[in-house]
Every structure is written in structure tokens, then in C-alpha cells.
């Protein structure tokens, strides 16, 4: 009776330490700073673009700002996330980590939590800058933070995908596969709409629909288009989106843990 | 030394790039306009390519199109105008500015059908919007001089915002221009009744405009009726009547109308012309401005 809580507590302390280490490692990464600098430049550029338009400037800043925020944080998740496991294996530092009383699954989860903490800071910094720009142009809305919440859900899925691929293959292949999931995740609904009428036979159509529901639909979490027109998010949408994300993340992390536990590190 | 040489090479290559590009760019300017135009994928493809960030892409294409279509002397500019603004508004159907600007660019090329296609698409996509109804109506009334079409758009505006006198006024004016004087008179009467006790400058303005137009419509209706009667008299007798009273006596009119100032209309027996001698009192109608 006493071993389980103690074991759990020990496991959590180690996972937390690993997460903190991942956080420190990632924020020191050069890729992280390059992407952050690019993000700041793009957000300021959105303010310049708004001066060229006719009509609402705040709309342009919100549309461009949220898209840039989403895109840059996704790039951070992919390009920092893909190296999380592979670098440790390549540099052989993983032997030091795994020689401690730490399971491989804990290693994966610790890495994931650390990466999500980095992305939270990254996302919040960009939303704060976007908020400042909107204040400057008298178009501030708290809803950009709601949109940020949904961007974070998307990041949770993408980081889990990146981590899964990072635990089984090289960074280049991981980057390609994660990018492919990102593109498919954002185009599947539009593709289904345009392709479904062209598929002949009810079986083919059903298969296409099933395949569409099976793939991670990242576009369903994209509410940026609603924010600029102040359209309310549907009742019950947030809870379902969180559950959907949690299910996908659990699925991917379980697969990553299983793949990594079987991996021969020698 | 090697580093210095490398640096010098980079600087000299940079210096060479500028004149090279200048000469290349100058050559592209010699091509016909069609070859310097642009291509934009259709809406379905753009929707997929946008990766779900449809507003973002709509904004980018819109801002770019503002810069591109602002250039006046390009014959080919209308080739893709409809497609460009259709893509923008398909990506972001609530983008009112895109409908307005698409219509403006179509107007600059006097492409009336295209202009109204943009406006109609916007009116369908934004069922509560009145700006597009006003925009389309004013193009029709003041630019195309098509008062029937203008009346249709102002009717939409009035239905969407019944409390706004502006649409009622424009509709009444359009109907007056299109020759539907009776309906127009009814609208002007309504405007007068709604504003007759008004104290604000806007209400006083609408009251004055209504009075002015009611005056004009009454004069037009009366003089047209009298002219018709005069022509009828001439075809029966071979000459114009000596006075207007003759028309009443011979049953061409039931009773001789008086002008809005309750004075008889002037009549010239030499050419049978009928006119109003009274003048509309602007000061009384509009007050001191």
C-alpha cells in the first residue's frame, strides 16, 4: 500500500526534473530564438500591412497575428520537438539519463511536458505582443487568448506526433512526417468536401469519410477565422476539443513509449 | 588574406546583382501586358492551400489587389478581377470591404454587370448589411443613371433597416427619376409625416427635402395632365384653347388644379405650354441654415 504512492511520487519528481531540463535545453536552442525573432518581425509586419488596407485595421492584425502565432509555434513544436529524443540517442547522453531510476516511458513523458511548457511560454509571449499591437490600434479583444488556447491544443497534438517520430526515426524523416501530418490535418476537411463527390461507389465514399475522421483534424481546432468577426464558439465545442486532443495525445504518447521501450539503443 | 578576398568577392557580387537585375527587369517590361499579369488558383484550391487560415489568405490577396488594381493604365487588369475578388470573398464571405472594393474597381472600368455581381454576392453573404445596398444603389442612381435598378437596391436597404430615413429618401428619389411619381409621392409624404415635428438638423433636412420633392412631383403631375388635356383639345378643335378654363368646360379635366402655392398654373395659348409660376420657398422649408 505504501509503495505505490511513494513510487508514484518518485516517478513524478523524476519526470518533473526531466521536463525542467527539457525546458532549459529548448529555450537555449538556436532554432527557438530564430523562430521567436521571426515571429516578432512578422507580428510587427502585420501592423504595417494593416496600414495598407481599406476598412478595419484590427481585423488584419488579428488575422495575420493569429496565423503567424500559430505557424511559428507549430514550427517550434516540429523543429525543436523532432530532436528531443534523437539528439539524446545520437550524443549518447541518454545512457546517463536511463542509468538513473527512470523508465523509458517517463523519459518520453518528461520530454513532452518540458516541450509543452516551452510552447506555452512561446505562445503567451506572442499573444502578449499581438495584444499590445491591438491595443495600439484600438482593436484589442480578449478573444485572441481564447484562440491561443485552441492553438495550444493543436500544438499538443503536433508535439506528440513529433515526439513519436523522433522516438522511432531520424530528425529529417521526423520533420517530413510531422509536416505531412500538419498539412493533412489542415486540409483534410477541405479535401473531403472537394474529393468526396468525385469518389464513385458508396463504399469508397464511406472509406474516405472514415479515413477523414481517423486522421488528426487540426483544422477543427482552428478558430482564428471566427475571432476577427467576433463569432461565438459553439456551445460544448471547447470541452469536446479538449477531450479530442487529450485522446489523440494519449494515443500518440502511448505509441511513442511503446516504440521507444522496444528500441535498441546500443 | 583569404578572408579579405572572400569578403571582397561577396561585396563585388552583391554590387553586380543590382545592375543585372535592373537589366533583367527592364526586359520583362517589354513583354505585352498579358504576359506580365498574374495567376491565382480558384477558390476550391485556395481553400485547400490556405491550410484553414482562410481569413489570413483573404487579407493578403485583398491588400495585394488594392495595390495592383490601383494602377490605372493596365488594359489586362480586368482579366482576373472577378476571379481575384471571388477568391477573396469565397475564402472570407464576410469581408465587406472586398465586395465594396471589387465593385469600385469594376466601376473604374465601367463593368456594370461585374459591379452588380460583386454587390449581389455581398448582399447574399451578409444578410443584415446595408452598406452594400447603399453602395450598389448609389452606383446605379448616380453613375449608371439606372433608377429602376437603384430603386431595387434601396428597397433592400430599406427592408434591412426600416428606421433609416436615408434609404426611404433615396428610394423615393429613384422612383421619382424612373417616372413612378405616385409611389414616390407616397414615400415623400411618409418622410414628411415622420419628420414634420422634428427639431434636429437631420430631421429638418428630411422635412425640407420631402417638401421640395412633393412640390416638384405635384407640379410635374399637374402640368403633364394639363398638357395632355391641351393636346386633346387641339386634336378636337385644331387649335389650342384660349384659356385653361375651356378644358374644364369641355370635360377634358374635372377641375383645374392649383399649384402647390394654391395659385393657378400659367398658360400660353400661342404654344399650349403650361408652367408653374410659383417658386418653392427654400427658407420656409429648410429654415435658416
| Min distance B158 CA to chain A CA atoms (Å) | 24
Coil/strand/helix, residue B40: coil
Q: Which of B53, B63, B67 to mutate to test the interface with A (most CBs of A within 10 A)?
A: B53
Within 8 A of B48 by CB-CB distance, chain A residues are 187, 190-191, 194
Return d(Cα B283, Cα B264) in angstroms, integer: 23
Within 8 A of A222 by CB-CB distance, chain B residues are 52-53
Taking only the tens place, the pLDDT of each residue in B119-149 is 999 999 999 999 999 999 999 999 999 999 9
3-state secondary structure labels for all residues of A223-253: CHHHHCCCCCCCCCHHHHHHHHHHHHHHHHH
The tens place of each residue's pLDDT in chain A, 266 residues long, gives 334 444 445 577 778 888 888 888 877 877 778 888 888 888 888 888 888 888 888 889 999 999 999 999 999 898 888 877 777 777 777 777 777 777 788 888 998 999 999 999 989 999 999 999 999 888 889 999 999 999 999 999 999 999 999 888 888 899 999 999 999 999 888 878 777 778 888 888 888 888 888 888 998 898 888 888 888 888 899 999 999 999 999 999 999 988 888 776 65
Contact B51 A186 (CB under 8 A): yes
Closest by CA position to B149, among listed B118, B122, B97, B113 = B113
Contact A223, A150 (CB under 8 A): yes
Taking only the tens place, the pLDDT of each residue in B99-118 is 999 999 999 888 999 999 99
Q: DSSP character for B275?
A: E
Domain ranges for chain A? 8-262
* pLDDT (0 to 100) of residue A20: 87
Contact B63 A228 (CB under 8 A): no
Whole-number Cα distances in Å, A64 to A81, A126, A133, B125: 25, 12, 12, 23
Within 8 A of A56 by CB-CB distance, chain B residues are 97
Contact A228 B44 (CB under 8 A): no
Interface residues on A facing B, Cβ-Cβ cutoff 8 A: 49, 52-56, 59-60, 63-64, 66-67, 70, 183, 186-187, 189-191, 194, 218-219, 222, 224-225, 228-229
| Min distance A53 CA to chain B CA atoms (Å) | 6
Give the pLDDT band (50/70/90) at residue B36.
low
| Min distance A67 CA to chain B CA atoms (Å) | 7
Cα A211 to chain centroid, rounded? 22
* pLDDT (0 to 100) of residue B284: 75
Instruction: Nearest by CB to A183, from B51, B54, B96: name it.
Output: B51
Contact A30, A79 (CB under 8 A): no
Within 8 A of B65 by CB-CB distance, chain A residues are none
Instruction: Nearest by CB to A55, from B52, B53, B97: name it.
Output: B97
Give the pLDDT band (50/70/90) at residue B217.
very high
Q: Which residue in B has a C-alpha nearest to residue A195's C-alpha?
A: B44
Return d(Cα A105, Cα A112) in angstroms, integer: 11
Return d(Cα B242, Cα B263) in angstroms, integer: 19
Domain ranges for chain B? 180-289
Amino acid at each position: 500500500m505504501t509503495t505505490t504512492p511513494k513510487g508514484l511520487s518518485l516517478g513524478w519528481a523524476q519526470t518533473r526534473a526531466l521536463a525542467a531540463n527539457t525546458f532549459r535545453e529548448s529555450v537555449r536552442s538556436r532554432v527557438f530564438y530564430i523562430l521567436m525573432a521571426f515571429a516578432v518581425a512578422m507580428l510587427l509586419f502585420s501592423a504595417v500591412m494593416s496600414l495598407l488596407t481599406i476598412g478595419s485595421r484590427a481585423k488584419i492584425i488579428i488575422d495575420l497575428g493569429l496565423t503567424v502565432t500559430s505557424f511559428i509555434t507549430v514550427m517550434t513544436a516540429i523543429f525543436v520537438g523532432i530532436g528531443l529524443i534523437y539528439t539524446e540517442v545520437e550524443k549518447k547522453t541518454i545512457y546517463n539519463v536511463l542509468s538513473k531510476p527512470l523508465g523509458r516511458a517517463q523519459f518520453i513523458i518528461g520530454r513532452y511536458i518540458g516541450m509543452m511548457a516551452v510552447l506555452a511560454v512561446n505562445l503567451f509571449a506572442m499573444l502578449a505582443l499581438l495584444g499590445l499591437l491591438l491595443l495600439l490600434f484600438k482593436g484589442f479583444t480578449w478573444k485572441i487568448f481564447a484562440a491561443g488556447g485552441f492553438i495550444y491544443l493543436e500544438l499538443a497534438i503536433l508535439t506528440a506526433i513529433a515526439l513519436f517520430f523522433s522516438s522511432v526515426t531520424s530528425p529529417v524523416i521526423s520533420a517530413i512526417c510531422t509536416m505531412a501530418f500538419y498539412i493533412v490535418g489542415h486540409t483534410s476537411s477541405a479535401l473531403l468536401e472537394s474529393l468526396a463527390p468525385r469518389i464513385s461507389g458508396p463504399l469508397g465514399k464511406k472509406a474516405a469519410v472514415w479515413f477523414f475522421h481517423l486522421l488528426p483534424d487540426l483544422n477543427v481546432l482552428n478558430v482564428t477565422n471566427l475571432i476577427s468577426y467576433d463569432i461565438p464558439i459553439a456551445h460544448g465545442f471547447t470541452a469536446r476539443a479538449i477531450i479530442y486532443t487529450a485522446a489523440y495525445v494519449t494515443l500518440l504518447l502511448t505509441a511513442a513509449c511503446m516504440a521507444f521501450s522496444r528500441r535498441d539503443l546500443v | 588574406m583569404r578572408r579579405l578576398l572572400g569578403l571582397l568577392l561577396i561585396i563585388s557580387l552583391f554590387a553586380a546583382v543590382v545592375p543585372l537585375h535592373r537589366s533583367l527587369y527592364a526586359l520583362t517590361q517589354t513583354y505585352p501586358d498579358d504576359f506580365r499579369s498574374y495567376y491565382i488558383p480558384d477558390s476550391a484550391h485556395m481553400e485547400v492551400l490556405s491550410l484553414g487560415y482562410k481569413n489570413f489568405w483573404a487579407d493578403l490577396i485583398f491588400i495585394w489587389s488594392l495595390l495592383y488594381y490601383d494602377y490605372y493604365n493596365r488594359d489586362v487588369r480586368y482579366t482576373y478581377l472577378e476571379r481575384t475578388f471571388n477568391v477573396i470573398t469565397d475564402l472570407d464571405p464576410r469581408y465587406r470591404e472586398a465586395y465594396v472594393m471589387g465593385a469600385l474597381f469594376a466601376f473604374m472600368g465601367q463593368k456594370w454587370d461585374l459591379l452588380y455581381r460583386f454587390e449581389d454576392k455581398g448582399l447574399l453573404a451578409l444578410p443584415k448589411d446595408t452598406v452594400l445596398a447603399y453602395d450598389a444603389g448609389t452606383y446605379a442612381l448616380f453613375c449608371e443613371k439606372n433608377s429602376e435598378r437603384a430603386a431595387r437596391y434601396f428597397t433592400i436597404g430599406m427592408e434591412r433597416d426600416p428606421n433609416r430615413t436615408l434609404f426611404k429618401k433615396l428610394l423615393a428619389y429613384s422612383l421619382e427619376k424612373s417616372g413612378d411619381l405616385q409611389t414616390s409621392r407616397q414615400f415623400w409624404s411618409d418622410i414628411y409625416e415622420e419628420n414634420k415635428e422634428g427639431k434636429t438638423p437631420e430631421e429638418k433636412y428630411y422635412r425640407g427635402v420631402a417638401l421640395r420633392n412633393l412640390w416638384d412631383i405635384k407640379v410635374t403631375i399637374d402640368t403633364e395632365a394639363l398638357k395632355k388635356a391641351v393636346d386633346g383639345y387641339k386634336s378636337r378643335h385644331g387649335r389650342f384653347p384660349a384659356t385653361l378654363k375651356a378644358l374644364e368646360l369641355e370635360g377634358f379635366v374635372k377641375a383645374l388644379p392649383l399649384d402647390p402655392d394654391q395659385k393657378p398654373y400659367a398658360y400660353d395659348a400661342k404654344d399650349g405650354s403650361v408652367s408653374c409660376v410659383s417658386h418653392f420657398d427654400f427658407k420656409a422649408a429648410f429654415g435658416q441654415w
